[in-house]
Amino acid sequence: MTNRRKFVELLTLLPFSVPFLEMKAYTQAANPAVAQSSGRALDPADGSPVGGQLPDQKWKVHDRSRPQARQVVPGLPFAEERPPSDAIVLFDGKDLSRWMTRGRDGKLSEPDWKVENGCMELVPKAGSLVTKEAFGDCQLHLDWMTPTGMDASRHGQNRGNSGVILMGKYEIQVLSSYDNPTYADGAAGAIYGLYPPMVNPCRPEGEWNSYDVVFKAPRFEGDQLRKAASITLLFNGVMVHDHVELLGSTVVLPLAKYQPHAPELPLMLQGHDGPVRYKNIWIRRLMGYDA
């Protein structure tokens, strides 16, 4: 069976398999001062400030009173498979030849992330990685991990923070979220500032997590949005977003909005507040039927 068929079948079958996973619940606290499952209260000061009112939701961006996603235990780790034959391998464990670093000033330079033991690691003040090649509609796979041995005083948004930013504008959060509560739309697997993951299947620090993403880029005609972007995300094999339409670029505060841009732009791995490790990164352009 091909990798593509496996992925499609997983998308089809997974919602029926979730009930068979071993589950445990996070405290669904309406009050941010109530202690979460980690035993630590959610600190309202952690991370970004509360933003604008989300349309068609009762929550604001980064609302500290929004419930934590229900925690589930994902299935056994998948065997690391080879990418599909039409995939572009962005990182094969050897070098960063397909990437550049983008500093906070927007300037590009050679990447400074560390490559060791088949993975690359975000190091402090090393900037964000961006691909040399641009992408629009795509299927993306990557594995990420928060290493052990972090300073225990670092918590919330200060613990293993990075992000997968499609087109450099639409972020899926990367964070140590196994026992590290933060505002719900800033947890691992969240579409940052818009939607928490439906459940939290994050593995403990020191264990690898996987993201399988299907992304459809927005469509513009001149300055007008004609079709919103959408994201489907399987997080450790568990569907946490099902073709969710985005309100706009998640890097725009206090509320996401669209700004017209090219049909293809580079993928970004955010250089934020690691350490975070990545490996096995590949991407496929989605060309549509009869292409």
**φ and ψ at 20, to 5 degrees?**
-85, -5
Q: Tell me, what amino acid is at 3?
A: N
Residue 90 is given by DSSP the state E
Other C-beta atoms closer than 10 Å to the C-beta of 69 total 23
**φ and ψ at 100, to 5 degrees?**
-130, 165
Nearest to 90 by CA among 268, 289, 234: 268
**φ and ψ at 6, to 5 degrees?**
-60, -45
Q: Tell me, what amino acid is at 35?
A: A
How far apart are the C-alpha atoms of 52 and 256, rounded to whole Å?
A: 9
User: Are the C-beta atoms of residues 266 and 88 closer than 8 Å to each other?
Assistant: no
> pLDDT tens per residue, the chain (291 residues)?
555 444 444 444 443 333 323 333 333 333 333 334 455 666 666 777 788 888 888 888 888 888 888 888 787 766 667 899 999 999 999 999 999 998 878 889 999 899 999 999 987 778 899 999 999 999 999 999 999 987 777 888 788 899 999 999 999 999 999 988 899 999 999 999 999 999 999 999 999 999 999 999 999 999 999 999 999 999 999 999 999 999 999 988 888 999 999 999 999 999 877 689 999 999 999 988 887
DSSP β-bridge partners for residue 232: 214
What topology is assigned to 3-20+59-285 in CATH? Jelly Rolls (2.60.120)
> What is the four-CA torsion angle of 127, 133, 138, 142, rounded to 10 degrees?
-40
Q: Give the DSSP H/E element, type plus range, for residue 16.
A: helix 3-17
Paired tokens of 115: 């490559």
Domain ranges of the chain: 3-20+59-285
DSSP β-bridge partners for residue 238: 235
How far apart are the C-alpha atoms of 103 and 204, rounded to whole Å?
A: 30
DSSP β-bridge partners for residue 144: 209, 278
